């Protein structure tokens, strides 16, 4: 999960937690006001069970990795605890001796606030209708219209506050999924383009080679001449293939740095890149490009960076970021070890250091 998405998730969870706090703290006042110890215990049990189920439901709402089956079961648990809260919390602190504290009304408001995340419209409508009916029933039973008033008024406020953040969270998740799909589509299009190029390049030559091989088999007298043509065609096809592969192997270091810079910025990381005014030689660019890619990948996957700098020079590259973990990255990890080995083969070096929460990766060419 990218930095920007993690921040949005935390903000959404913080807003949604208002519903949990209201369902836990305010009915808790009724527990302390209730003179009957049995009712107090039942009310506390009902409140805690409901708050736990509600917190789990809200957490799964902003956690995309949780399966639908788990989400469905948690939603069922929420509905069960919401229903059980009526007899458990409804009588709590409702007598004149306890000050007529509308304990369940706050839970009813939380149910209304949480109903939109239950999924299907029929379930949402049924939950809202049942909550309003329960609030009206308790208001009539206790002769206190406050049960219904608090449930509706506070519930609408919580829906407005949490609903906006949920809507924004949904938009961010969809945008992130769209970005991932775009990257996959670009890779698929590149594979198709390469396949078309190879087909166009080799299709004709291979067809001619197959035809001449068949002619040589039919007419042994022409075998020597056809064999010479076969060697010539095969050599030409191999030469064309090498030129094509060489073209795909050419590295545009400036474009790769720009792409990594854009990806980091879209993930909420402030990124600045410095490159030489002139393009580096192709052999230098080919050796530095994997370092830049691996460093950018590490920033995205293994840190919580807010900024990153990329400095490319004719004799190396330095990548630094402030998202270092409490313990430094393992320099013997597969990615860094592979980079170090590749650089060492051509006389280069790779070193990492952690200083004041800033992780720096430096590759030097010889």
- Closest CA relative to residue 311, chosen from 302, 298, 323, 320: 320
Task: Tell me the C-alpha distance between 206 and 201, whole Å.
Answer: 9
* Strands ordered across the beta sheet of 316-321: 270-274, 307-313, 316-321, 358-364, 349-355
Q: Which residue did the predictor score with more confidence, 329 or 212? A: 212
Residue 327: the pLDDT is 46
101 shares a domain with 150: yes
163 shares a domain with 63: yes
Q: What is the pTM of this model?
A: 0.50
Query: For residue range 173-216, what is the model confidence (pLDDT) as tens digits?
Result: 777 777 777 777 777 777 777 677 676 666 666 766 777 677 67
Low-confidence winner among 52-61, 82-91, 135-144, 227-236 (lowest mean pLDDT): 227-236
User: Which of 128, 162, 177 is a domain's end point?
Assistant: 177
274 shares a domain with 159: no
13 shares a domain with 103: yes
pLDDT interval class at 336 (50, 70, 90): confident
Residue 321: the pLDDT is 92
Query: What's the CATH number where 357 sits?
Result: 3.30.565.10
345 shares a domain with 239: no
In the chain, the percentage of residues whose pLDDT exceeds 90 is 7
pLDDT over threshold 70, residue 61 = yes
Domain tally, the chain: 3
- Closest CA relative to residue 194, chosen from 255, 245, 252: 245
Q: Cα torsion for 71, 76, 80, 85, to the nearest 10°?
A: 40
Task: Tell me the C-alpha distance between 18 and 13, whole Å.
Answer: 9
User: Which of 228, 249, 270 is a domain's end point?
Assistant: 249
pLDDT interval class at 312 (50, 70, 90): very high
131 shares a domain with 58: yes
User: Which of 249, 282, 305 is a domain's end point?
Assistant: 249
339 shares a domain with 214: no
The answer to whether the CB of 345 falls within 8 A of the CB of 299 is no
Phi, psi angle pair for 329, to nearest 5°: -60, 145
Burial class (CB in 10 A: 0-12, 13-18, 19+), 188: exposed
Structural domain that includes position 240? 183-249
187 shares a domain with 142: no
308 shares a domain with 273: yes
Query: What's the CATH number where 192 sits?
Result: 1.20.5
In the chain, the percentage of residues whose pLDDT exceeds 70 is 80
pLDDT over threshold 90, residue 319 = yes
23 shares a domain with 161: yes
Query: For residue range 276-299, what is the model confidence (pLDDT) as tens digits?
Result: 888 888 888 888 888 888 888 888
160 shares a domain with 103: yes
Query: For residue range 32-49, what is the model confidence (pLDDT) as tens digits?
Result: 888 888 888 998 898 889
Residue 247: the pLDDT is 58
pLDDT interval class at 329 (50, 70, 90): low
70 shares a domain with 110: yes
Residue 288: the pLDDT is 87
């Amino acid at each position: 999960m990218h930095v920007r998405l993690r921040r949005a998730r935390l903000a959404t969870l913080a807003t949604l937690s208002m519903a949990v706090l209201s369902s836990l703290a305010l009915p808790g006042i009724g527990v302390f006001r209730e003179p009957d110890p049995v009712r107090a215990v039942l009310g506390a049990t009902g409140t805690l069970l409901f708050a736990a189920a509600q917190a789990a439901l809200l957490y799964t709402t902003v956690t995309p990795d949780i399966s639908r089956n788990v989400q469905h079961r948690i939603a069922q648990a929420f509905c069960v605890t919401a229903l059980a809260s009526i007899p458990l919390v409804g009588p709590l602190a409702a007598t004149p001796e306890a000050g007529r504290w509308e304990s369940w009304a706050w839970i009813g408001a939380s149910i209304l606030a949480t109903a939109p995340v239950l999924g299907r419209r029929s379930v949402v409508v049924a939950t809202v209708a049942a909550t309003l009916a329960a609030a009206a029933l308790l208001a009539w039973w206790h002769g206190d219209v406050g049960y219904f008033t608090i449930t509706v008024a506070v519930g609408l406020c919580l829906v407005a506050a949490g609903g906006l953040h949920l809507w924004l969270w949904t938009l961010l998740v969809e945008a992130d999924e769209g970005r991932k799909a775009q990257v996959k589509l670009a890779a698929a299009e590149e594979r198709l383009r390469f396949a078309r190029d190879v087909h166009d390049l080799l299709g004709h030559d291979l067809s001619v080679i197959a035809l001449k091989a068949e002619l040589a088999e039919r007419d042994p007298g022409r075998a020597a001449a056809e064999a010479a043509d076969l060697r010539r065609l095969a050599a030409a096809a191999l030469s064309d293939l090498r030129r094509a592969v060489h073209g795909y192997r050419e590295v545009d270091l400036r474009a790769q740095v720009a792409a990594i810079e854009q990806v980091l910025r879209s993930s909420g990381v402030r990124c600045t890149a410095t490159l030489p005014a002139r393009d580096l030689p192709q052999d230098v660019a080919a050796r530095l490009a994997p370092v830049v890619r691996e460093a950018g990948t590490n920033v995205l996957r293994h840190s919580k960076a807010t900024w990153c700098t990329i400095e490319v020079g004719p004799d190396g590259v330095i990548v630094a970021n402030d998202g270092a973990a409490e313990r430094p990255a393992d320099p013997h990890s597969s990615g860094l070890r592979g980079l170090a080995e590749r650089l060492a083969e051509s006389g280069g070096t790779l070193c990492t250091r952690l200083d004041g929460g800033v992780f720096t990766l430096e590759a030097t060419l010889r």
